[in-house]
Amino acid sequence: MSHPKAPRPAKLIIRFLFCDFGVQAKVLEALVSDFGPMDFLSEPGDFPYTDYYDEEMGSGIRRQTAGFVELVEQEALPGIKLRTNEIENRFLQNGKRRVNIDPGILSLERLVLATGKNFTHRVYLGEGIYADLTLIYKKGAYRSLPWTYPDYREADFLHYLEVMRKKLRYAQEGIFPR
């Protein structure tokens, strides 16, 4: 028989899409205001994988990744997604998003994203939010799954996760300043 116990806190990871660098700066301010200081921020990179967002956001979409100092309880993911939806809504223009924010929790074992969209591999968490198991940690690296989005398979992003995984491990063990 298993004995239920709470999982260890995880690292909050947020990836977001944007076109306008003025909006990007305000979104970063809002994320820090809501989730505390960052300990990781990638350079904005191109997002060539799909034109799905172009009609809503425009062309020249950029992708950026942030990691946050304070660890979060894993069951907080639905509330975090609802808060990032509110941030998206603050920047609507003519009813269209100017930023798309994807929060996730990084644990030593996996990366789980939050989404409002149901699909076969997603598990309902509550409050209209689903968990999307995006990557698993196996044989010393994060590994993609058949449904993992292409930008989450990128070598640069996987490298970012390795850096943030070390930060997570140090924070969980209390052996290194976060």
Give per-residue pLDDT as tens, 38-88.
Answer: 999 999 999 878 788 888 888 899 999 999 999 999 999 999 999 999 999
Tell me how far apart the alpha carbons of residues 156 and 153 are, in angstroms, rounded to a whole number: 9
How much of the chain exceeds pLDDT 70, in percent?
A: 98
Angle at 114 between CA 1 and CA 98, to 5 degrees: 175
pLDDT at position 48 is: 79
Average pLDDT of the residues of the chain: 94
Res. 178: pLDDT tops 80: no
* Residue 177 banded pLDDT, cuts 50, 70, 90: low
Tell me how far apart the alpha carbons of residues 43 and 53 are, in angstroms, rounded to a whole number: 20
Task: At 125, list the tokens.
Answer: 């968490």
- pLDDT average, residue stretch 135-154: 95
pLDDT at position 174 is: 81
* Residue 23 banded pLDDT, cuts 50, 70, 90: very high
Give per-residue pLDDT as tens, 6-21.
Answer: 999 999 999 999 999 9
Please give the single-letter amino acid code of residue 11: K
How much of the chain exceeds pLDDT 90, in percent?
A: 85
pLDDT at position 113 is: 98
Res. 22: pLDDT tops 70: yes
* Residue 141 banded pLDDT, cuts 50, 70, 90: very high
Please give the single-letter amino acid code of residue 97: R
Task: At 104, list the tokens.
Answer: 């996730």
Res. 176: pLDDT tops 70: no
110, 116 Cβ separation under 8 angstroms: no
177, 21 Cβ separation under 8 angstroms: no
* Residue 129 banded pLDDT, cuts 50, 70, 90: very high
Question: Domains in the chain and their CATH numbers?
Answer: 10-169 (3.30.70.260)
Q: Give burial (CB, 10 Å; 0-12/13-18/19+) of 152.
A: buried
